[in-house]
Amino acid sequence: MRIGILGTGHVGRTLADAWSAAGHEVVLGSRTPDAAGTPAGRVWVASTREAVAAADVVVNATPGTASLGLLSSVGAAALAGKVLLDVAVGFTEDGDLSHLGESLGEELQRAFPATPVVKTLCTVDRMVMVDPGSLEGPGTLFLSGEDPAAKATVRGLLRDLGWADDALLDLGGIGTARAQEHVSLLFIGIAESTGTHLFGLRVVMPAERAATTHR
């Protein structure tokens, strides 16, 4: 699959390396590709427009407060029909969430109605994103979005990162992306308490239901 990742920071590059290793064709999109440096392996850097044009799936790994502006500069027509996997969370300069009453995922879906948005991966650290097996036990990863086919595509990409099917919990429509983004505040609290960002969250069901589900 051809994946265009917008954002050349730590998250974007970590995902790019992992998906490239899994056999996908990956392009990192940068507003300043000449200054972005050269990633390892088969990943290459291009402009944001070139990265989107070459992709089947576009990954938003930009700062959440800049995401709408950057994607708008690419244009709705260029994004139409492509799956937009949204990883980003926005923070203000004071460290508060920039999207309170509405999530970034919802904002992007409203701005680009012809582009199915799937929110995921924003509740774990970048290293856990690509190596869930590094955790002591299985964690839960969440998906939010309106389009079942887009979610199926994203599920396949998550499996390529090492996430098992039973670790992926579909929360429902894009409105539930608000819940995922708000986990960032809990994430920061846990990280400060434990002294590490390398952990996962797990949804644990009642024993009776778990027994029935796994029969």
How do residues 25-73 score in pLDDT, each as one tens digit? 999 998 876 554 555 556 889 999 999 999 999 999 999 999 999 999 9
- Reply yes or no on whether the pLDDT at 116 is more than 70: yes
| Domain enclosing residue 177, as ranges | 2-213
Cα atoms found within 13 Å of the Cα of residue 20, Cβ hemisphere only: 17
Q: Total domain count for the chain?
A: 1
How do residues 66-102 score in pLDDT, each as one tens digit? 999 999 999 999 999 999 999 999 998 888 888 988 9
Summarize the confidence of residues 101-115 as an average pLDDT.
97
Distance CA 130, CA 159 (A): 10
pTM, 2 dp: 0.92
Percent of the chain scoring above 70 in pLDDT: 92
Q: CATH number for the domain including 166?
A: 3.40.50.720
- Reply yes or no on whether the pLDDT at 215 is more than 50: no
Measure the CA angle with vertex 151, ends 164 and 70; round to 5°.
115
The alpha carbon dihedral of 6, 120, 183, 167 has a sign of negative
Residue count of the chain, please give it: 215
- Reply yes or no on whether the pLDDT at 197 is more than 80: yes
Is residue 199 within 8 A of residue 136, CB to CB? The reply is no
DSSP state of 85: E
